[in-house]
Amino acid sequence: MDPDPKGPPRPPLPEDEEPQLPKGVIREIERALGKGSKSRDVALCLSIGSQAIAEGRPDVAVEVLSWARHEAPRLASIREAYGIALYHEERWADAMSELQAYRRMTDRHDQNHVIADCLRALGRGLEQVASAAEPLVSDAQAPEDRRAEAAIVWAAALADEGDVGAGRAVLRRFLERPRSGDAEHDLRVRYLAADLAERARDDDDAQRQLELIAAVDSGFLDVAERLEGLEHRRG
Protein backbone atom coordinates (compact mmCIF):
# COMPACT_ATOMS: atom_id res chain seq x y z
CA MET A 1 0.00 0.00 0.00
CA ASP A 2 1.53 3.33 -1.08
CA PRO A 3 1.71 6.15 1.46
CA ASP A 4 -0.92 8.83 1.14
CA PRO A 5 0.98 11.99 0.07
CA LYS A 6 -1.52 14.13 1.96
CA GLY A 7 -0.99 12.42 5.29
CA PRO A 8 1.56 10.50 7.34
CA PRO A 9 3.05 7.41 5.69
CA ARG A 10 1.65 4.01 6.53
CA PRO A 11 3.88 2.63 9.29
CA PRO A 12 5.51 -0.76 8.86
CA LEU A 13 3.14 -3.33 10.33
CA PRO A 14 3.72 -7.02 11.07
CA GLU A 15 2.05 -9.23 8.48
CA ASP A 16 1.46 -12.16 10.85
CA GLU A 17 -0.04 -10.26 13.80
CA GLU A 18 -3.75 -9.89 14.51
CA PRO A 19 -5.24 -6.87 16.32
CA GLN A 20 -5.75 -7.48 20.04
CA LEU A 21 -8.91 -5.42 20.46
CA PRO A 22 -12.41 -5.99 21.86
CA LYS A 23 -14.80 -7.34 19.24
CA GLY A 24 -16.95 -4.24 19.55
CA VAL A 25 -14.03 -2.02 18.53
CA ILE A 26 -13.22 -4.28 15.56
CA ARG A 27 -16.86 -4.05 14.44
CA GLU A 28 -16.77 -0.25 14.83
CA ILE A 29 -13.73 -0.06 12.56
CA GLU A 30 -15.25 -2.40 9.98
CA ARG A 31 -18.51 -0.43 9.95
CA ALA A 32 -16.57 2.75 9.23
CA LEU A 33 -14.08 1.37 6.70
CA GLY A 34 -15.59 -1.88 5.47
CA LYS A 35 -13.89 -5.25 5.73
CA GLY A 36 -10.54 -5.36 4.07
CA SER A 37 -6.88 -4.48 4.33
CA LYS A 38 -7.42 -0.87 5.43
CA SER A 39 -9.68 -1.78 8.35
CA ARG A 40 -7.26 -4.52 9.37
CA ASP A 41 -4.33 -2.11 9.26
CA VAL A 42 -6.17 0.58 11.23
CA ALA A 43 -7.21 -1.97 13.83
CA LEU A 44 -3.64 -3.23 14.08
CA CYS A 45 -2.36 0.33 14.53
CA LEU A 46 -4.85 0.86 17.34
CA SER A 47 -3.81 -2.42 18.94
CA ILE A 48 -0.07 -1.68 18.66
CA GLY A 49 -0.57 1.92 19.77
CA SER A 50 -2.60 0.98 22.82
CA GLN A 51 0.01 -1.57 23.88
CA ALA A 52 2.81 0.95 23.34
CA ILE A 53 1.01 3.47 25.58
CA ALA A 54 0.64 0.83 28.29
CA GLU A 55 4.35 0.02 28.01
CA GLY A 56 5.45 3.66 28.25
CA ARG A 57 6.46 4.02 24.58
CA PRO A 58 4.31 6.95 23.43
CA ASP A 59 6.64 7.71 20.50
CA VAL A 60 5.74 4.35 18.94
CA ALA A 61 2.07 4.96 19.69
CA VAL A 62 2.11 8.40 18.05
CA GLU A 63 3.73 6.99 14.92
CA VAL A 64 1.15 4.28 14.29
CA LEU A 65 -1.88 6.19 15.58
CA SER A 66 -1.19 9.32 13.54
CA TRP A 67 -1.64 7.25 10.38
CA ALA A 68 -4.73 5.52 11.76
CA ARG A 69 -6.22 8.89 12.72
CA HIS A 70 -5.64 10.19 9.17
CA GLU A 71 -7.29 7.11 7.66
CA ALA A 72 -10.22 6.99 10.11
CA PRO A 73 -10.79 10.46 11.64
CA ARG A 74 -14.39 9.69 12.58
CA LEU A 75 -13.53 6.75 14.82
CA ALA A 76 -13.74 7.83 18.46
CA SER A 77 -11.51 5.00 19.67
CA ILE A 78 -8.70 6.18 17.39
CA ARG A 79 -9.05 9.82 18.43
CA GLU A 80 -9.01 8.80 22.10
CA ALA A 81 -5.90 6.63 21.85
CA TYR A 82 -4.06 9.17 19.70
CA GLY A 83 -4.90 11.92 22.19
CA ILE A 84 -3.54 9.88 25.09
CA ALA A 85 -0.34 9.11 23.17
CA LEU A 86 0.15 12.82 22.41
CA TYR A 87 -0.46 13.63 26.08
CA HIS A 88 2.31 11.27 27.13
CA GLU A 89 4.56 13.04 24.63
CA GLU A 90 3.66 16.31 26.39
CA ARG A 91 2.09 17.71 23.22
CA TRP A 92 -0.59 19.39 25.29
CA ALA A 93 -2.48 21.36 22.63
CA ASP A 94 -2.58 18.46 20.14
CA ALA A 95 -3.64 16.00 22.83
CA MET A 96 -6.40 18.30 24.02
CA SER A 97 -7.70 18.76 20.48
CA GLU A 98 -7.94 14.99 19.92
CA LEU A 99 -9.60 14.30 23.26
CA GLN A 100 -12.08 17.14 22.82
CA ALA A 101 -12.98 15.55 19.46
CA TYR A 102 -13.42 12.20 21.24
CA ARG A 103 -15.71 13.90 23.78
CA ARG A 104 -17.83 15.50 21.04
CA MET A 105 -18.14 12.22 19.16
CA THR A 106 -19.13 10.13 22.17
CA ASP A 107 -20.72 12.67 24.54
CA ARG A 108 -18.54 11.11 27.24
CA HIS A 109 -16.30 12.94 29.70
CA ASP A 110 -14.20 10.00 30.89
CA GLN A 111 -11.04 11.61 29.50
CA ASN A 112 -11.75 15.01 31.00
CA HIS A 113 -9.01 14.52 33.58
CA VAL A 114 -6.48 14.52 30.73
CA ILE A 115 -8.15 17.51 29.05
CA ALA A 116 -8.05 19.38 32.37
CA ASP A 117 -4.36 18.59 32.83
CA CYS A 118 -3.62 19.78 29.28
CA LEU A 119 -5.44 23.02 30.01
CA ARG A 120 -3.41 23.47 33.18
CA ALA A 121 -0.15 22.72 31.36
CA LEU A 122 -1.05 25.28 28.70
CA GLY A 123 -1.59 27.91 31.37
CA ARG A 124 -5.30 28.26 30.77
CA GLY A 125 -7.45 29.82 33.45
CA LEU A 126 -8.82 28.05 36.49
CA GLU A 127 -12.37 28.31 35.17
CA GLN A 128 -11.47 26.25 32.09
CA VAL A 129 -9.67 23.62 34.16
CA ALA A 130 -12.61 23.37 36.56
CA SER A 131 -15.16 23.13 33.74
CA ALA A 132 -13.31 20.09 32.39
CA ALA A 133 -12.60 18.39 35.73
CA GLU A 134 -15.86 18.94 37.64
CA PRO A 135 -18.21 16.81 35.45
CA LEU A 136 -15.90 13.83 35.79
CA VAL A 137 -15.27 14.25 39.52
CA SER A 138 -19.04 14.41 40.08
CA ASP A 139 -19.91 11.40 37.88
CA ALA A 140 -20.42 8.44 40.19
CA GLN A 141 -20.64 6.12 37.16
CA ALA A 142 -17.25 7.09 35.74
CA PRO A 143 -14.09 5.04 36.40
CA GLU A 144 -12.87 5.79 39.92
CA ASP A 145 -9.23 6.23 38.95
CA ARG A 146 -10.14 8.86 36.34
CA ARG A 147 -12.36 10.68 38.81
CA ALA A 148 -9.43 10.72 41.22
CA GLU A 149 -7.09 12.18 38.62
CA ALA A 150 -9.63 14.87 37.76
CA ALA A 151 -9.93 15.78 41.45
CA ILE A 152 -6.13 15.97 41.74
CA VAL A 153 -5.79 18.25 38.71
CA TRP A 154 -8.64 20.50 39.84
CA ALA A 155 -7.41 20.75 43.44
CA ALA A 156 -3.85 21.46 42.35
CA ALA A 157 -5.04 24.20 39.99
CA LEU A 158 -7.03 25.80 42.80
CA ALA A 159 -4.04 25.67 45.12
CA ASP A 160 -1.77 27.15 42.44
CA GLU A 161 -4.18 30.08 42.24
CA GLY A 162 -3.83 30.59 45.97
CA ASP A 163 -7.10 28.96 47.08
CA VAL A 164 -5.70 26.05 49.06
CA GLY A 165 -8.92 25.72 51.04
CA ALA A 166 -11.02 25.17 47.92
CA GLY A 167 -8.50 22.62 46.68
CA ARG A 168 -8.73 20.74 49.97
CA ALA A 169 -12.53 20.81 49.73
CA VAL A 170 -12.44 19.17 46.27
CA LEU A 171 -10.26 16.35 47.59
CA ARG A 172 -12.33 15.98 50.76
CA ARG A 173 -15.56 15.54 48.80
CA PHE A 174 -13.97 12.88 46.64
CA LEU A 175 -12.54 10.97 49.59
CA GLU A 176 -15.87 11.06 51.42
CA ARG A 177 -17.68 9.15 48.66
CA PRO A 178 -19.01 5.68 49.61
CA ARG A 179 -16.52 2.86 49.00
CA SER A 180 -15.18 -0.25 50.71
CA GLY A 181 -11.63 1.05 51.22
CA ASP A 182 -8.75 2.98 49.72
CA ALA A 183 -7.49 1.94 46.29
CA GLU A 184 -4.22 3.16 44.78
CA HIS A 185 -5.88 6.21 43.26
CA ASP A 186 -7.29 7.15 46.67
CA LEU A 187 -3.77 7.11 48.06
CA ARG A 188 -2.74 9.58 45.37
CA VAL A 189 -5.60 11.85 46.37
CA ARG A 190 -4.66 11.55 50.05
CA TYR A 191 -1.04 12.37 49.22
CA LEU A 192 -2.07 15.68 47.63
CA ALA A 193 -4.48 16.26 50.52
CA ALA A 194 -1.51 15.94 52.90
CA ASP A 195 0.48 18.39 50.76
CA LEU A 196 -2.29 20.97 50.83
CA ALA A 197 -2.87 20.44 54.56
CA GLU A 198 0.79 21.24 55.19
CA ARG A 199 0.50 24.34 53.01
CA ALA A 200 -2.46 25.38 55.15
CA ARG A 201 -0.40 24.67 58.30
CA ASP A 202 -2.85 21.97 59.31
CA ASP A 203 -0.32 19.41 60.52
CA ASP A 204 -3.02 17.31 62.20
CA ASP A 205 -4.80 16.60 58.92
CA ALA A 206 -1.51 16.17 57.06
CA GLN A 207 -0.49 13.50 59.55
CA ARG A 208 -3.91 11.84 59.39
CA GLN A 209 -3.78 11.60 55.59
CA LEU A 210 -0.25 10.21 55.60
CA GLU A 211 -1.11 7.67 58.29
CA LEU A 212 -4.11 6.50 56.30
CA ILE A 213 -1.85 6.03 53.28
CA ALA A 214 0.75 4.14 55.34
CA ALA A 215 -1.95 1.84 56.73
CA VAL A 216 -2.62 0.65 53.18
CA ASP A 217 0.88 0.90 51.67
CA SER A 218 3.75 1.74 54.00
CA GLY A 219 6.11 2.12 51.04
CA PHE A 220 3.99 4.61 49.12
CA LEU A 221 6.28 7.35 47.74
CA ASP A 222 8.00 9.20 50.64
CA VAL A 223 5.15 8.83 53.15
CA ALA A 224 7.33 7.28 55.87
CA GLU A 225 9.88 10.10 55.64
CA ARG A 226 7.19 12.75 55.65
CA LEU A 227 5.54 11.26 58.71
CA GLU A 228 8.89 11.21 60.47
CA GLY A 229 9.46 14.85 59.53
CA LEU A 230 6.05 15.87 60.82
CA GLU A 231 6.59 14.08 64.12
CA HIS A 232 10.02 15.68 64.50
CA ARG A 233 8.63 19.13 63.75
CA ARG A 234 5.87 18.70 66.29
CA GLY A 235 8.32 17.54 68.93
Q: Which domains does the chain have, with CATH numbers?
A: 1-108 (1.25.40), 121-235 (1.25.40.10)
Residue 29 has pLDDT above 70, yes or no: yes
Structure pTM? 0.91
As a whole number, mean pLDDT of residues 206-229 equals 95
Rounded Cα–Cα distance for residues 18 and 79 (Å): 21
Name the amino acid, one letter, at 19: P
What crossing angle do the helices spanning 126-137 and 164-175 adopt, rounded to 10°? Answer: 10
As a whole number, mean pLDDT of residues 201-212 equals 96
Residue 233 has pLDDT above 90, yes or no: no
Instruction: State the DSSP string of the chain.
Output: -PPPTTSPPPPP--TT------HHHHHHHHHHH-SSHHHHHHHHHHHHHHHHHHTT-HHHHHHHHHHHHHH-TT-HHHHHHHHHHHHHTT-HHHHHHHHHHHHHHH---TTHHHHHHHHHHTT--HHHHHHHHHHHHT-TTS-HHHHHHHHHHHHHHHHHTT-HHHHHHHHHHHHTS--SS--HHHHHHHHHHHHHHHHTT-HHHHHHHHHHHHHH-TTSTTHHHHHHHHHHHH-
Query: What pLDDT is attached to residue 189?
Result: 98
Distance from chain centroid for Cα 83: 10
As a whole number, mean pLDDT of residues 142-165 equals 97
Residue 1 has pLDDT above 50, yes or no: no
Q: What is the pLDDT of residues 30-59, one digit of tens each?
A: 999 999 999 999 999 999 999 999 999 999
Q: What is the pLDDT of residues 51-101, one digit of tens each?
A: 999 999 999 999 999 999 999 999 999 999 999 999 999 999 999 999 999
131 Cβ neighbours under 8 A, 6+ residues apart: none
Query: What pLDDT is attached to residue 234?
Result: 72
Backbone angles phi, psi at 107, to 5 degrees: 60, 30
Query: What pLDDT is attached to residue 235?
Result: 64
Nearest partner of 193 among 231, 233, 224, 166, judged by Cα: 166
Residue 224 has pLDDT above 80, yes or no: yes
